[in-house]
Amino acid sequence: MTQNPSSAKSNTKLPFAISMSGINKHFGLVHANRNIDLDIYRGDIHGIVGENGAGKSTLVSILYGFYTADSGTISLNGTSHHYNSTADAIAAGIGMVHQHFMLVPNFSVLENIVLGHEGGVNLTTSMTKARQMLEDLSQRFGLNVDLDAKVADLPVSLQQRVEILKALFRNASILILDEPTGVLTPQETDQLFVILRILKDQGVTILLITHKLREIMAVTDRISVMRDGAIVAHLNTAETCAEDIAHLMVGRPVLVEKQWHQCDRGEAVVKVSDLSLNGSDNEANPILSPLDFEVHAGEIFGIAGVAGNGQSELLELLAGIIPPSGGSIDYHGQRIDAKTPASPLDIKSLGVAHVPEDRHASGIILPFSAAENTILGYEDAATSGRWNMFTSPALIHERCSGLMQDFDVRPPNPHLKSSLFSGGNQQKLVLAREMSARPSILLVGQPTRGVDIGAIEFIHHQLIAMRDAGCAIILVSVELDEIMSLSDRIMVMNNGKKMGILNRDEAEVKHIGLLMAGVK
Amino acid sequence: MRRPLPKWIDIGVMPIINIFAAFVVAGIIIALIGENPITALSVMVKGAFVYKGALGYTLFYATNFIFTGLAVAVAFHATLFNIGGEGQAMIGGLGIGIVALSLDPLLPPLLVILLAIPMAAVFGAIWGMIPGWLQAKRGSHIVITTIMFNFIASSIMVWLLAGMLMAPGQMSPETRHFAEGVGLLQIHQIANAIGIPMARSPLNLSFLVALAALVGVWVLIWRTRLGYIIRATGHSEKAVIYAGHDPAKIIMITMAISGGLAGLMALNEILGVQERVILNFTSGYGFTGIAVALMGRNHPFGILLASLLFGALYQGGAEIDFEFQTITREMVLMIQGLIILFSGALALMFHPLMERLYGMIAGPDSITSPPKTKRAEHG
């Protein structure tokens, strides 16, 4: 670990890089930040962890000038600051790398970095000056990027470097990184951590926002844990462990140990052969190159890969949302191919249920009540009359109450608007709806994205119970931990191609990471 | 301390404040041209409700607004802006005309009427479905196409009414009268027949059809499977595809229903009053339907209230126009415009103020400060 207690102690004499005290922020009825006191040592890598909705983003947004706090003070390097916009925060030496990069894809790296800091009417001279400065910077921090490359052509990890360079170019001495590893392979994550350590050695203070406990343990010096808008603990990383942090985040002990146990594999119920999908420019750039795999009853088939490598499209193909360009899918002997495509309804009738990746766009309709959402795609279950034409509110309500009870959805109020439920409870609603159809094949995309730890535990437990009951589960997730802890077999995808299928016992993170990066 | 408004204020009180504000501004303008706004208002109210037959006229106009307002509302539940109510109503009238003119020599009047009524809806539905198809399958924006379809409908009407449908031997662009008895009974006729004295007005049986349509739309949107899918389409097409439905089909069906409702407006004007097809019988009701739906928040009950308000404005406005030299028809249009402005475009203007006021009266919110309320309970 990176912890060095003696250096940490020597830092205490210096003023804090960031010192926030008594920060409060309300959004309407929500008290998003409660009396936050946070001191961050200069040159530290400081982690802020917490579940979704714990107030991490709000806190960071206040620090970065997106929001103004209702009360409280912020001082940077010992001087008190009061700023009203992000421009003020940048001027005060704060840089931020957002989870979703803020880059112009068809600009070069240099143009992107200079954007907003052109420094004069004459672009040529400022560009030359900027180039000089950036070459110094990249040498100093080991951030090698081709300044003339088009951003759209760069892999995600390099785009992230551009974002970091952009912040440093604006003289940031404090760097905030919001969920920086979400889009990276394990190897790229390690590379990022190397860069962060170099930055630290050069005196940059780093604030790392994440929900991945393993990473926060690996790279930070100190950790602040947030829950319900308040900071519940400040910890030295060396003196704590992942279980303790999880406990603090949730407020009760959490089972971090794996729930997986040996599966009882049945016959192959899903057979995919030569399945392919062309891109928008037709056959030149396929989204999916011909894929072959089989999934058996009673197993969880995990599909690993960095986001955007074709897994999402594969899931939509399997669910019938988009038709394949070539090859076939076989469910219980029913063949689906480009000539005889099947609609999502047809596929549903074959006993396939689908928990979509994007809960908010597809899985539920946010302005609808919970009850209304539990019949989405299963309208027959809630209709009466001769042609199943009329919906029965009583029936929908009763059905929803039952599902809420089975899946521990809180609050158990079927009338409540779906957007008012937490991410975890929304996901439980979707799972409840799909599992209530008693599918023999279950397609699951990102089951725990934006879901709190308590609900993750519950959802994983449900998936394993489904598997034990003989259901074939295809699980797509960008969380490698999730894939590793649930899957019986793992298929790794890169750039729309199958990189390999590994059995659980032969799968290790390093190997999978290489496959995710496209190295065989 | 601001506090979110409860539903009863939001739905019950806010519209009244908005309309009140519109009347205040209109009153100032009336005062500026040298008339007494209070007198003008009282003439308007009397003209809309009190004078002999006034209420009948108000309800007659309201009937038009109910149909066109519902048409806009149904489409809006699928986030489709149907600006084509005007054209769909015209074509609905054409449907009635074609049935009535071709069948009235052959069939008894009652049968002709029973055939003509659905034809108004069918013709309007087709005229609404074409832009729906263009939107769903070709991606042409529904706002643009429905507006253009108004012009096409208008041109078709001129072409037919000045041509093959024009009554022989006369100069005005209209068809011949339908045969005796091919028309809807007027309410005052019915009332008088059963012994209730009632002043003469054009209010006819279409009003009952309009009331039935209000209930029908409520059932459709909130109590049927189709309505559920229409609303789902309005919120998220992706979710509808995921659930296994075809949004293109839903868009076309929704536009057909919407067009059909607009087409039914022709019942009121053509079968209820004119008993022949004339040019421009829609006279802007289709467009005002947008304002009605906006004010009624796309809910049938709200549309009923908004239609009554607009009906009263039309009828009362005509009365003002008649009584005052200086207040013209255009001034009345301006008052309507102000109401649309305050209750539609500026609907949220008084919201922050009301939230603050409500916070002051009702005290701080119990959710953000639970200890206080608890103490109050114990004390």
Where along chain A do its domains lie?
1-93+222-256, 268-362+438-516
- CATH number (2.102.10.10, 3.50.50.60, 3.30.70.360, 3.40.50.300) of A268-362+438-516 reads 3.40.50.300
Phi, psi of B51 (to 5 degrees): -55, 160
Distance from the Cα of B85 to chain A's closest Cα (Å) equals 27
Greatest extent of chain A over all pairs of C-alpha atoms, in Å: 80
Question: Could you tell me the pLDDT band of residue B141, with boundaries at 50, 70 and 90?
Answer: very high
**Higher local confidence (pLDDT), A392 or B120:** B120
Contact A377 B243 (CB under 8 A): yes
Phi, psi of B14 (to 5 degrees): -55, -45
> What are the DSSP calls for A352-371, one per residue?
EEEE-S-IIIII--TTSBHH
Question: Could you tell me the pLDDT band of residue B275, with boundaries at 50, 70 and 90?
Answer: very high
Contact A29 B235 (CB under 8 A): no
Q: How many Å from the N-terminal Cα to the C-terminal Cα in chain A?
A: 30
Mean pLDDT over A187-208 rounds to: 91
In angstroms, what is the C-alpha Rg of chain B?
23
Question: Could you tell me the pLDDT band of residue B376, with boundaries at 50, 70 and 90?
Answer: very low
Distance CA(B161)–CA(A149), nearest Å, equals: 67
Q: DSSP letter at A282?
A: B
Could you tell me which of A421, A83, A476 has the C-alpha nearest to residue A306?
A: A476
- Residue A367 with chain B: CB contacts under 8 Å: 235
Other beta carbons within 10 angstroms of residue B162's beta carbon come to 14
Out of A222-231, A472-481, B262-271, B360-369, give the one with best mean pLDDT: B262-271
Tokens of B57: 């006229």
- Residue A391 with chain B: CB contacts under 8 Å: 223-225, 227-228
pLDDT of residue B326: 83
Instruction: Decide if the complex's ipTM is over 0.90.
Output: no
Distance CA(A291)–CA(A276), nearest Å, equals: 7
Distance from the Cα of B2 to chain A's closest Cα (Å) equals 8
Q: A171 pairs with which residues across the strands?
A: none
Distance CA(A207)–CA(A198), nearest Å, equals: 14
Q: What is the 3-state secondary structure (H, E, C) of B38-78?
A: HHHHHHHHHHHHHCCCHHHHHHHHHHHHHHHHHHHHHHHCC
Residue of B nearest to A360 (CA): B239
Q: Are B313 and B339 in contact (CB under 8 A)?
A: yes
Mean pLDDT over B288-300 rounds to: 90
Chain centre distance of CA A346: 31
Other beta carbons within 10 angstroms of residue B29's beta carbon come to 15
Contact B236 A362 (CB under 8 A): yes
User: For all residues of chain A together, what is the average pLDDT?
Assistant: 87
Question: Could you tell me the pLDDT band of residue B39, with boundaries at 50, 70 and 90?
Answer: very high
Mean pLDDT over A69-97 rounds to: 88
- CA-based torsion, B359, B362, B367, B371: positive or negative: positive
Distance CA(A419)–CA(A367), nearest Å, equals: 6
pLDDT in tens, A154-179: 888 889 999 999 999 988 999 999 88
Q: Determine contact: B280 vs chain A, CB below 8 A.
A: no
Mean pLDDT over B262-278 rounds to: 95
- Residue B236 with chain A: CB contacts under 8 Å: 361-362, 365-366
In angstroms, what is the C-alpha Rg of chain A?
25
Partner residue opposite A29 with nearest CB, options B219, B243, B365? B365
Contact B244 A348 (CB under 8 A): yes
Q: Which amino acid is at A123?
A: L
Q: A288 pairs with which residues across the strands?
A: A277
pLDDT of residue A255: 60
Q: Determine contact: A434 vs chain B, CB below 8 A.
A: no
Distance from the Cα of B109 to chain A's closest Cα (Å) equals 34
Question: Could you tell me the pLDDT band of residue A256, with boundaries at 50, 70 and 90?
Answer: low
Contact A344 B4 (CB under 8 A): no
Q: A417 pairs with which residues across the strands?
A: A369
Contact A368 B235 (CB under 8 A): yes
Burial state string for A330-346 with b = 16 or more CB within 10 A and e = fewer than 16: bbbeeebbeeeebebeb
The residue length of chain A stands at 520
Partner residue opposite B228 with nearest CB, options A364, A367, A379? A379
Q: What is the 3-state secondary structure (H, E, C) of chain B?
A: CCCCCCHHHHHHHHHHHHHHHHHHHHHHHHHHCCCCHHHHHHHHHHHHHHCCCHHHHHHHHHHHHHHHHHHHHHHHCCCCCCCCHHHHHHHHHHHHHHHHHHHCCCCCHHHHHHHHHHHHHHHHHHHHHHHHHHHHHHCCCHHHHHHHHHHHHHHHHHHHHCCCCCCCCCCCCECCCCCCCCCCCEHHHHHHHCCCCCCCCCCECHHHHHHHHHHHHHHHHHHEHHHHHHHHHHHCHHHHHHCCCCHHHHHHHHHHHHHHHHHHHHHHHHHHHHCCCECCCCCCHHHHHHHHHHHCCCCHHHHHHHHHHHHHHHHHHHHHHHHCCCCCHHHHHHHHHHHHHHHHHCCCCCHHHHHHHHHHHHCCCCCCCHHHHHHHHHC
DSSP reduced 3-state for A118: coil
Mean pLDDT over A13-40 rounds to: 85
Could you tell me which of B368, B367, B351, B366 has the C-alpha nearest to residue B9?
A: B351
Ranges of beta strands (E only) in A215-267 are: 222-227, 230-236
Q: Determine contact: B365 vs chain A, CB below 8 A.
A: yes
Question: Could you tell me the pLDDT band of residue B132, with boundaries at 50, 70 and 90?
Answer: very high
pLDDT of residue A283: 65
Q: Is the pLDDT of residue B368 over 50?
A: no
Partner residue opposite B235 with nearest CB, options A28, A365, A375? A365
Q: Is the pLDDT of residue B325 over 90?
A: no
- Cα within 13 Å of Cα(A395), Cβ side: 15
Could you tell me which of A201, A246, A215, A205 has the C-alpha nearest to residue A96?
A: A205
**Higher local confidence (pLDDT), A245 or A14:** A245
pLDDT of residue B370: 36
Tokens of A75: 């001082």
Distance CA(B157)–CA(B150), nearest Å, equals: 11
Contact A363 B239 (CB under 8 A): yes
Q: Are B221 and B74 in contact (CB under 8 A)?
A: yes
pLDDT of residue B134: 96
- Residue B215 with chain A: CB contacts under 8 Å: none
Partner residue opposite B239 with nearest CB, options A345, A361, A393? A361
pLDDT of residue A258: 61
pLDDT of residue A212: 80
Contact B244 A345 (CB under 8 A): yes
Contact A376 B225 (CB under 8 A): no
Distance CA(A392)–CA(B223), nearest Å, equals: 7
Contact B239 A31 (CB under 8 A): no
- Residue B7 with chain A: CB contacts under 8 Å: none
Q: Determine contact: B321 vs chain A, CB below 8 A.
A: no
Contact A376 B241 (CB under 8 A): no
Q: Determine contact: A368 vs chain B, CB below 8 A.
A: yes
Q: Which amino acid is at A345?
A: L
pLDDT in tens, B100-127: 999 999 999 999 999 999 999 999 999 9
- Residue B4 with chain A: CB contacts under 8 Å: 28-29
Contact A368 B367 (CB under 8 A): no
Distance from the Cα of B1 to chain A's closest Cα (Å) equals 10
Mean pLDDT over B302-307 rounds to: 93
Q: Is the pLDDT of residue A414 over 80?
A: yes
Mean pLDDT over A434-463 rounds to: 89
Residue of B nearest to A366 (CA): B235
Element (H, E) at A295: strand A288-296
Note whether A1-93+222-256 and A268-362+438-516 share their fold.
yes
Distance CA(A33)–CA(A35), nearest Å, equals: 7
Tokens of A480: 């490698």
Share of chain A above pLDDT 90, in %: 44
- Residue B358 with chain A: CB contacts under 8 Å: none
Q: Are B345 and B360 in contact (CB under 8 A)?
A: no
Contact B228 A343 (CB under 8 A): no
Could you tell me which of A196, A204, A138, A141 has the C-alpha nearest to residue A173?
A: A204
Residue of A nearest to B5 (CA): A28
pLDDT in tens, B52-94: 889 999 999 999 999 999 999 999 999 999 999 999 999 999 9
Chain centre distance of CA B175: 26
Partner residue opposite A377 with nearest CB, options B224, B244, B365? B244
Q: Are A410 and A423 in contact (CB under 8 A)?
A: no
User: For all residues of chain B together, what is the average pLDDT?
Assistant: 89
Question: Could you tell me the pLDDT band of residue A1, with boundaries at 50, 70 and 90?
Answer: very low
Could you tell me which of A77, A97, A95 has the C-alpha nearest to residue A87?
A: A95
Question: Could you tell me the pLDDT band of residue B297, with boundaries at 50, 70 and 90?
Answer: confident
Question: Could you tell me the pLDDT band of residue A281, with boundaries at 50, 70 and 90?
Answer: low
Distance CA(A268)–CA(A295), nearest Å, equals: 5
Out of A263-267, A360-364, B158-162, give the one with best mean pLDDT: B158-162
**CA–CA distances in Å: residue B249 to residues A317, B132, B134, B137, B255:** 21, 9, 12, 9, 10
Ranges of beta strands (E only) in A29-156 are: 30-40, 45-50, 71-76, 79-81, 94-97
Q: Determine contact: A379 vs chain B, CB below 8 A.
A: yes
Contact A31 B223 (CB under 8 A): no
- Helix, strand, coil percentages for chain A (3-state, nearest 5): 35, 25, 40
Ranges of beta strands (E only) in A60-216 are: 71-76, 79-81, 94-97, 174-178, 205-210
Q: Determine contact: A367 vs chain B, CB below 8 A.
A: yes
Q: Are A399 and A374 in contact (CB under 8 A)?
A: yes
The residue length of chain B stands at 379
pTM of the complete model: 0.81
Mean pLDDT over B218-231 rounds to: 94
Tokens of B321: 């126009």
Tokens of B304: 């009923």
Distance from the Cα of B77 to chain A's closest Cα (Å) equals 12
Residue of B nearest to A383 (CA): B225
- Residue B229 with chain A: CB contacts under 8 Å: 379
- Residue A345 with chain B: CB contacts under 8 Å: 244-245
pLDDT of residue A250: 81
Distance CA(A469)–CA(A442), nearest Å, equals: 12
Element (H, E) at A244: helix A242-250
**Higher local confidence (pLDDT), A246 or A38:** A38
CB pairs under 8 A between A and B: 71
Domain A1-93+222-256 has CATH 3.40.50.300: yes
Tokens of A96: 């931020």
Give the strands of the sheet with A489-494, arranged side by side: A352-355, A441-445, A472-476, A300-304, A489-494, A497-503
Element (H, E) at A6: helix A5-11
**CA–CA distances in Å: residue A50 to residues A58, A129, A242, A425, B212:** 12, 41, 12, 17, 55
Distance CA(B101)–CA(B116), nearest Å, equals: 10
Partner residue opposite A388 with nearest CB, options B219, B225, B232? B225
Contact B228 A372 (CB under 8 A): yes
Distance CA(B85)–CA(B97), nearest Å, equals: 18
